[in-house]
């Protein structure tokens, strides 16, 4: 009986720890103050650097065809809404892969990484699993929305309350 109880207890612990790992550290409506991110040249950025505009964080990987396909939509968003929107693509690849793939892409907006893939940092804070995933941060720094398509932002942009 003790063995059965121990097995049940261990299974419950595993389930609870998995649920804890899957819960985003940041919830909709909360202020997000993240860690440093770096561009391809090693320059450090924080999300606070972009306050005053919406910030669209696009999590991507060179192995995600959907992520790469969305680059055209991101370019269109940047051109249409540069006065209200800052776009920052966050690569979850290893640093070497990111630097190689960046040189092959026409990314004209911020392209950042923290070098931890999806294990730590901003990707873990927002519980990024599927790529691409887009997080919209409001001008005041609060977590505003989560979507899986840049095209959805284009289609719904006019419905967003502006600062």
| pLDDT value, residue 117 | 62
| pLDDT value, residue 156 | 65
Output 67 or 163, whichever has higher pLDDT: 67
Output 90 or 9, whichever has higher pLDDT: 90
Digit-coded pLDDT (tens) for 30-78: 888 777 899 988 999 998 898 899 999 999 988 888 888 888 888 888 8
How far CA 89 is from CA of 62, 107, 132, in Å, comes to: 12, 9, 10
Neighbours of 1 (CB within 10 A): 5
Tokens describing residue 54: 């919406």
8-state DSSP, 142: B
Digit-coded pLDDT (tens) for 100-150: 776 667 788 999 987 776 667 888 888 888 899 999 999 999 998 888 776
């Amino acid at each position: 009986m003790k063995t059965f109880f121990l097995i049940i207890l261990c299974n419950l612990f595993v389930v609870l720890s998995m649920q804890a790992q899957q819960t985003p550290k940041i919830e909709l409506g909360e202020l997000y103050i993240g860690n440093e991110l770096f561009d391809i040249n090693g320059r450090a950025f924080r999300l606070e650097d972009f306050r005053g505009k919406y910030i669209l964080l696009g999590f991507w990987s060179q192995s995600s065809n959907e992520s790469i396909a969305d680059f055209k939509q991101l370019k269109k968003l940047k051109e249409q809404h540069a006065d209200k929107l800052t776009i920052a693509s966050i690569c979850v690849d290893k640093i070497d892969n990111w630097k190689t793939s960046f040189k092959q892409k026409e990314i004209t907006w911020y392209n950042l990484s923290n070098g931890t893939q999806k294990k730590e940092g901003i990707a873990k804070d927002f519980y990024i699993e599927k790529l691409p995933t887009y997080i919209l941060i409001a001008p005041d720094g609060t977590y505003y929305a989560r979507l899986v398509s840049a095209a959805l932002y284009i289609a719904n942009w006019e419905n967003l309350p502006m600062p």
